[in-house]
Amino acid sequence: MRLSLKLLVSLLLPTSCSLQIKTPPPNMIQLIKNADVYAPAHLGLCHVLVGCGKIMKIFPGNVSLHDETVLDLNISSKDLNGKKLIPGLIDGHVHLTGGGGEAGFKTSVPPIPLSNFTLAGVTTAVGVLGTDDCVRSTASLLARARGLREEGLSSYILTGGYHVPVTTLTGSVKGDIVHLDLCIGCGELAISDHRSSQPTFDELVRIAGDCHVAHLMTGKAGTLHLHMGTGERRMQMVKRALQETEIPSRIFNPTHCNRNFALLEEAMELASLGATIDVTAGTGKKGGGGGPTAAEAIRKYITDDRKLPQDKITCSSDAGGSIPTFDEQGNLLRLGYGTSANLLVAINELLSPSDGSESLPLEAVLPPFTSNWASLLKIDDRKGKIAEGCDADLVVLEESGDGVAISDVMALGVWHVVDGKAVIKGTFES
């Protein structure tokens, strides 16, 4: 079967770009050939046509395309020769402005530069404030998200931080979600943690209620992203909220749920009630904690005998945030920080476990890093999958040892990483 790309491009290119069909600028229209597509479902060998930052058309691999038309229309072509093509990763919990500060001002982590995301395969990031919601603010977080967008990375924010009263820009959680275009929820509000404000039950459900109403008003996610600490109360207030109030379970989105095994078990119970739970890559036994790694937690969730809903677990990196270890009196013992690169570590551990566990197929591994996040954040009409009409956020994987490595990364139709090197860097990156 042979198709005319010239005809297809004229039909598929968005109206805003239609005047440029005859002489499009370089790389406005691109053809990715012979890609082994995981969308996350395995589509097999395909050709993917990209234009104006969108996925225009996906052709089966057995379709023969006119090479002369590719040249005639100034379409750039990239042949993957069977390499895997996956959706750009969504990192739903990152400290865009930097986190930390638990051991003095010198331990404040600096803002995350663009290439730290793209080299890790991340094409969408959601910024949060944590322990330090005093020096850092919703305003500075919003500004950093806008800056990353100007550099080509899709980014959003959550208002607030660890503490109550919640740090906001407009004066209320509901107001921030309604009036700030990039604000899609609230968090990370800390509970069961010595660094929290020890919020009361009434305070928690009032904030959750505001998130829900903001969701109804705007269609945004309106989630309450909850930082879970090591406290013995664990999920008590969340479970009570589901029992005593009318707030939907989907509003509650606890993170760091792999901090210990007891917390993970309660989180899995919460997921069975309709909440989406998040595990943190780079923590657990191999990351200096006592709980399961992100890969161990995801495998446990996916294979659980209760047949838990497979779209209710996500994985984030806590990039830019400090990863501290405290003693029983709250004194800091050691301090590290998160990086988005830990997402690929978790993916590889699921694909090729080092502990002898059963390997999972790539199509089962990808959703917690892609489509599940997109669904929770209400951006699944354009993010988290390889489908016609979605944003052209794509990652090329190549075989590397016992796992996979990131070869190329496209964000909104632009190649940011080529052959493992960042070809586009942030404004102040050397």
Residues annotated catalytic, as ranges: 318
Positive/negative CA dihedral, 20, 21, 23, 25? positive
Nearby residues of 338 by Cβ (< 8 Å), 6 or more positions away: 94, 95, 99, 280, 281, 282, 317, 318, 319, 320, 321, 322, 323
Q: Is 263 helix (H, G, I), strand (E, B) or coil?
A: helix
What CA–CA distance (Å, rounded) separates 142 from 32?
Answer: 34
* Strand 313-316 versus strand 277-280 pairing type: parallel
Angle at 86 between CA 80 and CA 90, to 5 degrees: 140
Question: What residues contact 188, with CB distance under 8 A and at least 6 apart?
Answer: 93, 128, 129, 130, 158, 160, 161, 162, 225, 226, 227, 255
Residue listed under structure tokens 């094409």: 123
Cis omega (within 30 of 0) on the bond before 324? no
Separation between Cα atoms, residue 400 and residue 31, nearest integer Å:
25
How far is residue 93 from each of residues 7, 87, 213, 272, 315, measured CA to CA in Å? 42, 18, 22, 22, 9
Report the C-alpha gap between 258 and 228 in whole angstroms: 9
In single-letter form, the type of residue at position 4 comes to S
Cross-strand partners of 37: 44, 85
Q: Is 205 helix (H, G, I), strand (E, B) or coil?
A: helix
| Residues 149/163, Cβ–Cβ less than 8 Å | no
What amino acid is encoded at 60 in this protein? P
Compute how many other C-beta atoms are within 10 angstroms of the C-beta atom of residue 239: 15
The b/e string for 83-103 (b: 16+ C-beta within 10 A; e otherwise) is bbbbbbbbbbbbbbbbbbbbe
Tell me the backbone φ, ψ of residue 117, rounded to 5 degrees. Answer: -80, -55
